[in-house]
Amino acid sequence: MEAALEKSVLVTGFSPFPGMPVNPTALLIERLKHRLPHYRQSVTFRYERLPTTWAGREDVTAPLRHKVKPDAIVHFGVDGSRPQINIETRAVNRATCLKPDAAGAMPVSPKLDAEGPDERFSTLAALPLRNAMRATGVPADLSRDAGAYLCNATLWDSIGSGIPTIFVHVPSISHGKRDPRLCLASLEEAGIALLRDLARRL
């Protein structure tokens, strides 16, 4: 008999939101789900798409963490202003009131936690993951600026849960041969490299 799967990694993407009618991270996790359901029968990956809403933090994401009880979390989100992949190493205690979520709602407060610290730091080693992605030929680097939208809030919450967590910002994807942005296939290969590297070190 095959050995039981011993550890799990929760891997998430996001649904569309204003200004991003097709979220590449939703497409990415569907591809990853079929390409990498587990790693060497010792780590299984659970792929989920999160709503891009402030209410979803408590209604969906927090219960999902509690239900899955993963050994690590990898969140994927999109930032259309970035030309490359960024692995975020920090979340800040801030929520933007300048941009509505997918439900048209704004955060209830400019702070994610009224009594919390100013920042929280990612709890998975970012440098090896960046190097694994770079090895596929995809440009990737570390970042300390996850923004103040739901990407930052999701990273903030997951770090606060005590589960080892990292957040990966991807650029918007290309729409043709003359479009210089990364294609979905390149993001897929980089994502697989990151997840395999993480699984080896769990």
Please, are residues 38 and 58 in contact by the beta-carbon 8 Å criterion? no
What residue segments make up the domains of the chain, in order of their start? Answer: 7-200
Give the closest residue to 86 by CA, choosing from 197, 200, 198, 182: 182
Tokens matching residue 34: 């079929």
pLDDT at 3 over 80: no
Measured in whole angstroms, how far is the alpha carbon of residue 64 from the centre of its chain?
14
Query: Tell me, what's the pLDDT at 148?
Result: 97
**What are the tens digits of pLDDT across the range 8-22?**
999 999 999 999 999
pLDDT tens digits along 75-95: 999 998 898 999 999 999 999
Task: Identify the bridge partners of residue 75 per DSSP, sorted by sequence position.
Answer: 12, 167
Q: How many CB atoms lie within 10 A of CB 108?
A: 10
**Is the sign of the CA dihedral 10, 110, 98, 60 positive or negative?**
positive
Q: Is 97 a catalytic residue?
A: no
The bridge status of strand 43-50 relative to strand 38-39 is: antiparallel
- Which one is catalytic: 29, 50, 151, 173? 151
CA distances in angstroms from 137 to 13, 33, 73, 85, 94, listed in the order given: 22, 22, 24, 12, 34
pLDDT at 178: 63
Q: Which two tokens stand for residue 156?
A: 């903030």
How would you classify residue 89: left for phi > 0, otherwise alpha for psi between -120 and 50, otherwise beta?
alpha
Q: Residue 169: what pLDDT?
A: 98
Between CA 82 and CA 85 the distance in angstroms is: 7
- CATH fourth-level superfamily of 7-200: Peptidase C15, pyroglutamyl peptidase I-like (3.40.630.20)
With a cut of 60, say whether residue 59 has pLDDT above it.
yes
List pLDDT tens digits, range 171-200: 988 665 666 668 899 999 999 999 999 999
Asked whether 53 and 105 are in contact (CB, 8 A), the reply is yes
